[in-house]
Each structure stands twice: as C-alpha cells, then as structure tokens.
Structure 1
C-alpha cells in the first residue's frame, strides 16, 4: 500500500505499473492513444463508461471516451469519478478525502462533496479511478476538478440517487465517468460471448442482469445505468474489446467497455 505523504495530497499509487511513471512518456502515450481514436466531433455526453486496466491493455478503448472529452476541452469543469474498491471490502460509498490527487503529470484539484461521506481506505491503493486521471489531464487540461467516489456493495436505487445527487452538486459543466472492466480471465471466445451479453444489458438499461463476476465495477455501473434510466438518458456503445486485442494472452483475457450515456436527440 502506498505511503500517504500528506493529509491532503493522494500520491500516485500505480504509476510505473498501470501507466508510465515518466511524465514525458506518459503524456506521449496518452496523446498517441487519443489521436488514434479522434478527432471526434459530437455533443458532450452527460456520462461515460470506461475501462481501468493498464494503459497498454485498455488504453485504446478508454481513448474512445477521452477523444470525445478532448473535443470539449474548456467546457468541462468537473468530473465525477465513480468506480470499485478492489482492495478494501467496501459497503456503501466513500468519497476520497483529499484536497488534491497526484499523477506524474501534476496534481488535480479534488472538489469536496457534501452528499456522501469520505474514507481513505478504499482509495489509497485503488487503481480504478487513478488510471483515469492522466487521460483527463491530457484531454481536459490541468484546471479541472474531480470528485472521486468508490462504490461498494449496496442497493442499486440508493446508489442511483447518489449518482443523481453528485451530478446535481457538480453542475452542468460536469461529466460522470464510471470506471469498470468486464469479464475476467476467460479465453477470448468465452469473454466475447459474456461481454456481448453485458453490453446488451448496458444498452438496454437492464442493470439487474449484470452479475458481479461479469463487471468488476458492477455497483457503480448498475447505479449509473439506473440513474440513466430514471432521467431519460441512453447508453451508446463506443467500443468493446479485450486484453487479447492489444497485448494480452488469448487464453486469459479481460473485457473492456466504452459507452457514452446521453439524452436522445429528438427529431424536429
């Protein structure tokens, strides 16, 4: 578990493992991934679903989201990050109790939230939200604010209401990023079959059909989908791949999703 060097700054926990620790190499890698996915000219979505593996594995899928955010640089002021707690058995939800969050590219300001309590324990070694930050820093710049919240076991309606409260608190110049990978450690064909079913449940707004072993960020994912359903938003698939599509072994893969969650465009 990383050493916490300050009560107010959360140091990078997985730099050098999930993404390069060298700032120049990290920025160059992310710019390359975003350039390969973009440019994308489309309206800003209210929320996105992104994967959270090492950048060399899930980076091309994540870049489908961040290329879209990059097109709205200067408009997005705050990002609400929601995802799982892999290392701490969390029940309910916990915001990150830091004033700033560090990566090799610098520090990101954390916007405090008044709608959920905070705890260091789910956040201090967690990678699912941290790996999004370098992408955000490159796509949106250094003057953004983030509100990181870990989602643990709980009731989906309660979690959906929390998503709604976080969105309202963050304001119109904000987006929600839901961090999740999909199936883990199946062969490629099995993973593609399972992940296709999960993707259909996402597109159809059926969060109850997503099993915990089919999405490691299942509680945040279910909450985000329930919120979308309750507020008239719809998921649109941007990408679906596995680690075998990049540099992983085909006999032991992890699934990666990218979705935009947006309001339908009404015909005139």
Structure 2
C-alpha cells in the first residue's frame, strides 16, 4: 500500500472537504465552470499541473473535465501517470506496483501492464522508494477518484516517476508505454504531471511558458527538450510530457488543444514570482 504523502498539505485529507474542494476547482473562475460529464472525444493524453489545489486545482480541473468525455463507465481505463521526481529518492525511472490510497478510496495497479513495462523497458525499474514522498502523481489521483465516484469512469493506474528526464530516456519510456498498451489492447489515458515556469516574474513566466506550450501543441517532443534547455525554462516535468507525446504518436493522438493556462499570481495577486500551470488535452475525434 502506498499511503498519501501530501494529503492535508496539497489538498484536504478529510474526504468531504476534499470532494468540496474538487468541485470548487471545477466551478472556480479559472476553472471550466462546469462539472464533469460524458462526451464524444477520445482523450488519449493530458498535461496537468501538480501544485496545491488552491493554486493549480482550477487549471487541473480543465483536464479532468475533458477526460470525463472519454469515459465509458462499463469499460475500465488504464491511467498511465508520469510525474517528475522532486525528492531524489529511488531509481532514475521508477514504476510502482502498489495499491495507492487516497482519502476518497484506493486505486488498484494494472499489474499486467506494469509487469511487462519494467521487464521489457531496460531503463524502468520496479521501485517503490521513488514514490514514497513524491507529490506529482499523488495529486492527480483525487481528481480521478472523483470521476469514479460520479460513476463516469473506472481506472487502474500505472504510476511512473522520472528522475531522468533526458530526451532519449523520455522517448524510450513513451515507446514502451504505447507498445504494451497495444499488445494488451488496453484503453489508456497517459497523464503527464508538470508545472511550467517556477518563481519567475509574471511577464517572463508567461513568455517562457508560451514557448513550451507551442511545442506541446505541435506534438514536437525534440523541440520541447531543446527549448527547455536553450531558454532555461524551469518546467519540472518536461520528461513526462515528452514521454506522453511519444506514446500518443504511437497510439493515434492527432489533436493537441490548450484547455487553460494561468499562473499562481492569478490566484494570489502577487505577480513578482509565479509558477505557471497549463492543462492540455491530446485526442482523436471519434466519428
């Protein structure tokens, strides 16, 4: 069992308070202003922020509203969640096979997918240590569980924590996610957990963030990597985003759409040092 590390810090630990806060994120002025509902788009991938819900939750909600439009309550979705490693613990790329507990209920791992992933992809280790205190994956789970509680979707999870975020590593991870998804005939959503610029003045942050957002919308993972390095952009999850884009190219992702962008300054009113947040969905339109 992987127990919550940041419940009570990044989001409420009390289930009722947590549900209230998630719904408030959807209805917030920076959120989508509507609650989840089933629709017609087949969402294959998402970029989601992972700060405390009071800062990034409304932007995060845009992604999960779109995910609700993929859902079929009768069919289980494997959510492959890629997050950066902020703690420095564990292996360079680590997949978890534990059950993950949230205040709203537990998530079972997709054990067959996970077992194939770490055995076939040499760079991925089965390692729980990297996940013990890491928040980037954990903060996505209450939003997923909320969709389950609304009977919109059912999920199993594949949590992947990336300390190594170089281009070659990300491409290899993405390739094997897609390969195994196809071999197992899984219905998957690949979620890349990342914040954008960190602790820059608002004008600089938005300028730098526009560069990486443009690269993601073009689904150009090599350009994203080059721009993060060349422009010194402090995006914490560029490796997970590159891996997600690579996987989705193999799985039929065709359209990337910016759902929302804001900074912490838009919440706090302090624009002197902000963190950037974006929600992006990659989909194929169902006929």
Alignment of 1:84-123 (within 5 A): 84-88=84-88, 92-98=92-98, 100-112=99-111, 113-114=114-115, 115-116=117-118, 117-123=125-131
Q: Distance in 2 between matches of 1:229 and 1:158?
A: 13
Contact 1:101 1:107 in 2 (8 A): yes
- Partner-residue secondary structure (3-state), 2:108: strand
Give 1:206's aligned residue: 220
Alignment of 1:15-164 (within 5 A): 15-35=7-27, 37=32, 38-39=34-35, 41-71=39-69, 72=71, 74=73, 75-88=75-88, 92-98=92-98, 100-112=99-111, 113-114=114-115, 115-116=117-118, 117-141=125-149, 143-153=154-164, 154=166, 155=168, 156-164=170-178
Secondary structure of 2:10's match?
coil
| Residue 194 (structure 1) aligned to one of 189, 201, 208 | 208
Which range moves more in the overlay, 11-20 or 81-90? 81-90
1:61-97 Cα offsets, whole Å, 9 max, x none, are 1100111223425145321111111102666421013
SS of 1:20 mapped into structure 2 = coil
Q: Which of residues 229, 233, 245 in structure 2 aligns to 1:225?
A: 245
- 1:177 correspondence with 2:176: no
CA distance in 2, matches of 1:183, 1:88: 20
State whether residues 104 and 145 of structure 2, in contact with CA within 8 Å, keep that contact through their aligned partners in structure 1: yes
Contact 1:128 1:179 in 2 (8 A): yes
Structure with greater helix share of residues: 2
Contact 2:76–2:156 at 8 Å: present in 1 too? no
- Cα distance change on mapping 1:137 and 1:49 into 2, 3 Å: same
- The Cα RMSD (Å) is 2.3
Residue aligning to 2:270: 249
Deviations 1:46-72 (A, max 9, x none): 111111110111101110011122342
1:216 and 1:176 mapped to 2: Cα distance? 17
**Any unmatched runs of 5+ in structure 2?**
119-124
Give the number of equivalent residue pairs: 257
Structure 2 length as normaliser, TM-score?
A: 0.81
**Which region of structure 1 is more displaced relative to structure 2, 41-50 or 168-177?**
168-177
Matched residues in 1 for 2:90 and 2:237: separation? 12
